[in-house]
């Protein structure tokens, strides 16, 4: 048999490929043979879906027994659908031509395929036929250009840029008209102006175009470059944060998206998964109920329950059957280590916990050889042949295996799944009440429950069903639905064996993290596929909801539209009433009711989402998680979604900010997210520290960029009034270029190191995040302050420069340099005054940049061809130059310092008070819980009557109030309570200017 090495780009559909161990798959192929006699191979799919555990793939049954030497001669047809992006499904059929098999149709599934970018592991070789290649592979179809995420700061900057552009056009038009009028009236009378009496028709456009060039710097082109640079540094700060490294696994935090760091400081809703996100996803078998007998209730550990151990030792039939279902009704692969120990490779942590628990109770699943499963019990080996596997789906909520006992030939159906999927299928006459009580008891303890069942099948029944199952498995249209329908034909009249209870512990620091972020005004929604009672217990454990009487949990349920509508109206009425009461109200809803609510009562559900701070959504699908994110985004809230598994990817990608946890479920969520962290508790630092600092720094940098450009532009405009409105530039071309590139860019870039408050203070007082959420540092009001500052400074610089020119009778080049020097000095002091914490780098950047300004201009003054020959030398020798610069700085900064002093002394913000406390070193008392005001809709909703205005975030009244008592206590040197005032804030609180 001859083989030829080919490049991946030359592979065509229908080619038979041989893959060696550890090779990466270049295309999607259907397995035809492997080096394993049973036709099994192992693959690693981490590059595809992030899952780190090895998965098995098997060759189709029709290929069993074919000599691999003849594989290159095999002929047949594969019927498959067109290329799609679903990496978990492959519905196709294989038909081999004689002499291999006489047109027997064999269904193919994803279990018979290896997808592109997977790696072949623990298998010497495998071969298969290419079905999708190039960009038509499932991975290739999943590739695409991700939608860029626009941050709230970017949106504000874009609006401000548009406003400045309109202002620029108005200025150009007004000055252009004024220039033409002056030219036609006054200019021709002046002996030193030589305008021709008549000119071409386009001469009217010359002066407006000059002013367009002069005003072109009004919009700083460098702002996008500067923002991209500092945002990259923000991302690096997250990567370098040693306090966000998971010491248990050594996993650091990582920022995959460098463009949205400031949005972390404006998060209003966090939507979180439960299993593996709030919990450790380390499943531990705790309790069980077998045939009505509860084990582990006293000790809390069924594996150490003497009664259960004795029942296993005595060979109790009920217990043995229960353990058998635990051991073999799964997709676990047992593997022997070099030391002889049995290692289990499981795709589900629940299955891994059940198999290990059965092994600890002496029923050990130790070998899987193709379709033969081997277990040992009391030194005897039992073999089962797997006839069919009815896989778990989110719709069926259960899985089953059909096995044949190799000793007596009996056929059994073993099933496990959720109680609502298993208990209704119990045979008539069996009392299931005790199992229902067991499920309720275990879920009240926050344990995850599964029901186990079995049924014996006769040969004829199985043979008839197998024909239907094979026919459904061969269908190319709606295969999954048809298979589920056929499975239901067999999964009935089950004998319920018992209930398992698995503990999934909360991660360390989860309750504290949620409590802190709730104080920061962030709302939490839990979206889980788990049972309602289990989710509620976890929510209580991690401070999601408060127990009675402080908290109140409302339930939305129902299976029909009418039932859901009544339940929703009842909850809405209660929410409207309790919004005026200091009570923590939340609601819980299951996936079925949620589907009806989103489809038929979306407006009412939207109002409910705004009125509540906490929601628990149970039994939800990945698509429903994404719908809930979209619902909150439609209300213009900033959302953050966090999860750890593949079922969270859609939610993570839909949210404004996606955070993935690198957990036991693999890296699929982490790779699809904007940020990845090792544990949920790091979310607190990610938001309060990195998010808040990023927002503060970006707000300053963006407004300062406009300020420095407007400052120079206003000076040019003022100069036009003494230059005949001719559009002549006061500054030379080099100064205009170097102004943005050298003179003013470096000091502001070092603002990425600025911290208005220490990290400890920020973590201790999370309420100050409200300033970021409400956009208090970057809005039209604060921008108007910077706009006015630039106008005032331009007037100061221009007036003093021109007066110095008239007094000294200097050349215009010297006046230009005096004005430019005034701008540079003023900006150095502006940056210094706006900086809260200084480092060596910041001092070097501010004052070193000022020194560099003189060095550069002195060098240029020494060059005869520079156009600035000897100018700087003359100015620096004149005392009047330094006096003029001093007057500019004093006149420009004096009113600003006075205003700052007044606000810091008589109207300090809470941030100012915390800054003063830090400088004085006085202790700050911890704050009590603060209840937010309810939210309401911002947009008009036709079917709702909502009267209260929508607040972008809960208003923390004590936080935003200004208490004279608080200010007086600062100077006493005694501990003071920062948030002791209870005064109300007017609705216009967000119109104030910059607070710090």
Number of domains, the chain: 4
Whether residue 763 is contained in a domain is answered as yes
Domain CATH for 82: 2.70.150.10
Has 274 been labeled as part of a binding site?
yes
Instruction: Give 844's DSSP letter.
Output: I
Confirm or deny that 644 is annotated as ligand binding: yes
Over residues 847-854, mean pLDDT: 89
Give the rounded distance of the alpha carbon of 456 from its chain centre.
48
Based on the domain organization, do 725 and 766 belong to the same domain?
yes
| DSSP code per residue over 199-226 | --GGGGGHHHHHHHHHGGGGS-THHHHH
Q: Kind and range of the H or E element at 486?
A: helix 479-490
Has residue 385 been placed in a domain? yes
Neighbours of 58 (CB within 10 A): 19
Shared-domain flag, residues 693 and 574: no
Q: Is residue 793 part of a domain?
A: yes
Beta pairing partners, 335: 343
Q: Which tokens go with 518? A: 């709730």
Residue 518 counted as an annotated binding residue: no
Beta carbons of 652 and 673 less than 8 angstroms apart: yes
- The token pair at 55 is 């998965």
Q: Is residue 129 part of a domain?
A: yes
CATH number of the domain enclosing 319: 3.40.1110.10
Out of 283-287, 319-323, 393-397, 831-835, least confident range: 393-397
| Strand duo 380-390 + 254-255: pairing | unpaired
Long-range CB contact pairs, 655-663, < 8 A, 24+: 655/271, 655/629, 656/149, 656/151, 656/260, 656/263, 656/267, 657/149, 657/260, 657/263, 657/264, 657/267, 659/683, 659/686, 661/276, 661/277, 662/246, 662/249, 662/251, 663/276, 663/277, 663/281
Q: Are 706 and 784 in contact (CB under 8 A)?
A: no
Does 149 show up as a binding residue in the annotation? no
Q: Element (H or E) spanning 804, and its range? A: helix 780-808
Q: Are residues 731 and 824 in the same domain?
A: yes
User: Which pLDDT tens digit goes with each residue over 807-819?
Assistant: 555 577 888 889 9
Q: Domain for residue 813, yes or no? A: yes
Assess whether 566 and 608 both reside in one domain: yes
Q: Which residue has the tokens 């006075």?
A: 898
Count of alpha carbons within 13 angstroms of residue 28, beta-carbon side: 28
Are residues 251 and 228 part of one domain? no
Residue 940 has a pLDDT of 38
The span from the CA of 425 to the CA of 400, in Å, is 13
**What string of DSSP letters covers 558-577?**
-SSHHHHHHHHHHHHHHHHH
Q: Which residue's structure tokens are 């991946």? A: 8
Helix (H) or strand (E) holding 173: helix 152-185
Same domain, yes or no: 857 and 708: yes
Residue in 984, 978, 986, 969 with CA at minimum distance from that of residue 909: 978
pTM for this predicted structure: 0.76
With beta carbons less than 8 A apart as the criterion, state whether 854 and 872 touch: yes
Does 648 count as an annotated binding residue?
Answer: yes
More confident residue, 855 or 933: 855
Task: Give the residue among 978, 923, 985, 976 at the shortest CA–CA distance from 955.
Answer: 985
236, 263, 27: which is closest to 132 by C-alpha? 27
For CA atoms 596, 602, 605, 606, give the dihedral sign: positive
Is 570 flagged in the annotation as binding? Answer: no
**Statement: residue 590 has pLDDT above 90:** no
Q: Does 351 appear as a known binding residue?
A: yes
Asked if 498 and 291 count as a contact pair (C-beta separation under 8 A), the reply is yes
Say how far apart CA 288 and CA 292 lie, in whole Å. Answer: 10
Active site positions, annotated: 273
**625 labelled binding-site residue:** yes
Candidates 559, 569, 526, 566; CA nearest to 544 is 526
Could you give the CA distance from residue 350 to residue 356 in angstroms, rounded to a whole number? 10
* Of residues 919, 910, 920, the one with CA closest to residue 995: 910
Residue 940 lies in a domain: no
Whether residue 461 is annotated as binding a ligand: the answer is: no
Does residue 544 share a domain with residue 675?
yes
Of residues 703 and 185, which shows the higher confidence score? 703
Look at residue 312 and tell me whether its pLDDT is greater than 60: yes
The annotation status of 479 as a binding-site residue, yes or no, is: no
- Report which of residues 777 and 956 the model is more confident about: 777
* Beta-carbon contacts of residue 132 (< 8 Å; ≥ 6 apart): 13, 27, 28, 83, 116, 138, 140
From 688, 707, 725, the end of a domain falls on 688
- Considering 114-118, 535-539, 719-723, 777-781, the range whose residues carry the highest mean pLDDT is 777-781
Q: What is the mean pLDDT of residues 221-241?
A: 90
pLDDT of the residue at 195 = 63
- Same-domain check for residues 449 and 389: yes
pLDDT interval class at 143 (50, 70, 90): low
Number of other CB atoms surrounding residue 680 within 10 Å: 27
Residue 122 is predicted with a pLDDT of: 82
Q: Distance between CA 105 and CA 90 in Å, rounded? A: 16
Radius of gyration of the chain (CA): 36
Same-domain check for residues 19 and 87: yes
**Domain coverage including residue 876:** 218-235+689-914
C-alpha–C-alpha distance, residues 547 and 756, integer Å = 37
With a CB cutoff of 8 Å and minimum separation 6, the contacts of 790 are: 706, 707, 708, 710, 711, 714
What confidence tens digit (pLDDT) does each residue in 332-357 have? 888 887 777 888 877 677 888 999 99
Domain presence at residue 665: yes
State the pLDDT at residue 945.
Answer: 34
d(CA 474, CA 467): 11
Q: Are 783 and 703 in contact (CB under 8 A)?
A: yes
For the record, the structure tokens of 683 come out as: 């979310």
Sheet holding 55-58, edge to edge: 55-58, 40-44, 119-121
Of the residues 504, 525, 544, which one is the last residue of a structural domain?
A: 504
Determine the Cα–Cα distance for residues 341 and 352; give it in Å rounded to an integer.
15
Decide if 962 is inside a domain.
no
pLDDT of residue 951: 38
Structure tokens at 104: 């027997």
- The three-state DSSP-derived secondary structure of 63-132 is HCCCCHHHHHHCCEEEECCCCCCCCCCCCEEEEECCCCCCCCEEEECHHHEECCCCEEECCCEEEEEEEE
At residue 952 the predicted structure's pLDDT band, cuts being 50, 70 and 90, is very low
70 — phi, psi (to 5°)?
Answer: -100, 0
Residue 640's closest CA among 157, 151, 275? 151
Task: Confirm if 700 and 225 have CB atoms less than 8 A apart.
Answer: no
Please, which pLDDT band fits residue 916 given cuts at 50, 70 and 90?
A: confident
Report DSSP state, residue 928: P
Q: Are residues 693 and 804 in the same domain?
A: yes
Do 23 and 46 lie in a common domain?
Answer: yes
Q: pLDDT band for position 785 (50/70/90)?
A: very high
- Co-location of 640 and 709 in the same domain: no
- Work out whether strand 584-590 and strand 551-556 pair parallel, antiparallel, or are unpaired: parallel
**Residue 576 belongs to a domain with what CATH number?**
3.40.50.1000
Sheet holding 113-114, edge to edge: 16-20, 125-132, 28-34, 113-114
Among 654, 688, 722, the domain-final residue is 688
Tell me the pairing of strands 279-290 and 76-79: unpaired
């Amino acid at each position: 048999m001859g083989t030829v090495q080919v490049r991946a780009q030359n592979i065509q559909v229908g080619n038979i490929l041989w893959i060696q161990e550890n090779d990466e798959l270049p295309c999607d192929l259907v397995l035809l043979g492997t080096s394993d006699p049973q036709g099994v191979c192992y693959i690693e799919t981490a590059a595809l879906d992030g899952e780190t555990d090895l998965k098995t793939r098997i060759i189709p049954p029709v290929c069993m027994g074919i000599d691999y030497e003849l594989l290159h001669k095999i002929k047949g047809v594969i019927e498959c659908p067109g290329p799609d992006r679903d990496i978990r499904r492959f519905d196709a059929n294989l038909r081999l031509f004689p002499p291999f098999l006489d047109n027997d149709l064999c269904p193919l599934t994803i279990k018979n395929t290896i997808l592109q970018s997977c790696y072949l592991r623990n298998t010497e070789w495998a071969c298969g036929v290419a079905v999708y290649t190039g960009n038509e592979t499932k991975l290739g179809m999943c590739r695409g250009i991700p939608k860029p995420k626009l941050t709230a700061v970017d949106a504000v900057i874009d609006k401000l840029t548009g406003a400045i552009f309109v202002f620029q056009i108005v200025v150009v038009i007004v000055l252009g008209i004024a220039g033409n009028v002056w030219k036609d009236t006054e200019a021709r009378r002046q002996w030193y102006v030589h305008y021709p009496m008549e000119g071409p028709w386009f001469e009217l456009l010359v002066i407006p175009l000059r002013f367009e060039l002069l005003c072109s710097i009004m919009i700083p082109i460098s702002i996008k470059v500067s923002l991209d640079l500092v945002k990259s540094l923000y991302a690096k700060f997250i990567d370098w944060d040693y306090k966000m490294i998971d010491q248990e696994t050594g996993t650091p935090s990582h920022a995959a998206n460098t463009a949205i760091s400031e949005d972390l400081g404006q998060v209003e809703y966090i939507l979180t998964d439960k299993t593996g996100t709030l919990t450790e996803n380390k499943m531990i078998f705790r309790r069980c109920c077998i045939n009505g007998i509860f084990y582990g209730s006293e000790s809390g550990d069924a594996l150490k329950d003497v009664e259960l151990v004795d029942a296993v030792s005595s060979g109790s039939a009920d217990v043995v059957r229960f353990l058998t279902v635990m051991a073999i009704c799964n997709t676990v692969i047992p593997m022997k280590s070099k030391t002889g120990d049995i290692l289990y490779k499981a795709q589900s942590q629940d299955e891994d916990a059940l198999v290990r628990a059965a092994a600890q109770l002496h029923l050990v699943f130790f070998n899987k050889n193709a379709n033969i499963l081997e277990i040992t019990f009391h030194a005897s080996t039992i073999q089962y042949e797997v006839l069919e596997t009815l896989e778990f789906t989110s719709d069926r909520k259960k899985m089953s295996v059909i096995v044949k006992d190799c000793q007596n030939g009996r056929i059994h159906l073993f099933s496990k799944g959720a109680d609502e999927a298993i208990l209704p299928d119990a045979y008539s006459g069996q009392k299931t009440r005790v199992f229902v009580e067991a499920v309720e008891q275990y879920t009240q303890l926050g344990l995850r429950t599964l029901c186990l069942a079995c049924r014996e099948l006769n040969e004829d029944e199985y043979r008839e069903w197998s024909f239907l199952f094979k026919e459904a498995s061969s269908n190319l249209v709606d295969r999954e639905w048809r298979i589920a329908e056929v499975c239901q034909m067999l999964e009935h009249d089950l004998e319920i064996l018992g209930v398992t209870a698995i503990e999934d512990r909360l991660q360390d620091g989860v309750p504290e993290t949620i409590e802190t972020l709730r104080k920061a005004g962030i709302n939490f929604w839990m979206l889980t596929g788990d049972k309602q009672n289990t989710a509620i217990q976890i929510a209580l454990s991690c401070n999601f909801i408060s127990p009675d009487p402080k908290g109140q949990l409302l339930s939305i349920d129902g299976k029909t539209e009418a039932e859901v509508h009544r339940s929703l109206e009842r909850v809405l009425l209660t929410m409207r009433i309790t919004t005026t009461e200091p009570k923590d109200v939340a609601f819980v809803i299951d996936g079925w009711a949620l589907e009806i609510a989103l489809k038929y009562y979306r407006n009412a559900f939207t109002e409910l989402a705004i009125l509540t701070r906490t929601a628990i959504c149970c039994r939800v699908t990945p698509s429903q998680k994404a719908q809930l994110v979209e619902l909150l985004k439609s209300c213009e809230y900033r959302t953050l979604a966090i999860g750890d598994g593949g079922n969270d990817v859609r939610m993570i990608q839909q949210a404004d900010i996606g955070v993935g946890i690198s957990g036991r479920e693999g890296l699929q969520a982490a790779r699809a997210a904007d940020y990845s962290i090792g544990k949920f508790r790091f979310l607190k630092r990610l938001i309060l520290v990195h998010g808040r600092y990023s927002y503060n720094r970006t707000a300053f940098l963006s407004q300062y960029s406009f300020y420095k450009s407007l400052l120079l532009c206003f000076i040019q405009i003022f100069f036009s009034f003494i230059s005949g409105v001719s559009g002549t530039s006061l500054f030379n071309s080099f100064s205009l270029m170097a102004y943005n590139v050298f003179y003013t860019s470096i000091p502001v870039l070092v603002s990425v190191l600025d911290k208005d408050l220490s990290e400890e203070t920020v973590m201790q007082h999370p309420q100050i995040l409200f300033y970021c959420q409400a956009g208090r540092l970057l809005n039209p009001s604060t921008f108007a302050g910077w706009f006015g500052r630039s106008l005032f400074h331009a007037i100061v610089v221009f007036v003093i420069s021109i007066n110095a020119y008239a007094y000294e009778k200097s050349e215009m080049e010297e006046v230009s340099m005096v004005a430019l020097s005034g701008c540079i000095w003023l900006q150095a002091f502006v940056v210094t005054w706006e900086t809260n914490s200084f480092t060596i780098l910041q001092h070097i950047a501010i004052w070193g940049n000022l020194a560099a300004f003189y060095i550069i201009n002195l060098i240029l003054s020494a060059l005869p061809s520079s156009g600035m020959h000897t100018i700087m030398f003359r100015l620096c020798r004149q005392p009047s130059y330094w006096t003029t610069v001093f007057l500019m700085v004093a006149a420009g900064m004096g009113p600003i310092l006075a205003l700052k002093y007044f606000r810091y002394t008589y109207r300090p913000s809470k941030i100012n008070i915390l800054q003063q406390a830090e400088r004085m070193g006085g202790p700050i008392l911890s704050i009590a819980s603060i209840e937010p005001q309810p939210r309401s809709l911002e947009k008009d909703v036709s079917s709702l009557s909502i009267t209260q205005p929508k607040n972008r975030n809960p208003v923390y009244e004590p936080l935003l109030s200004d208490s004279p008592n608080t200010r007086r206590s600062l100077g006493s040197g005694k501990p003071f309570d920062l948030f002791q005032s209870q005064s109300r804030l007017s609705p216009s609180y967000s119109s104030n200017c910059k607070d710090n």
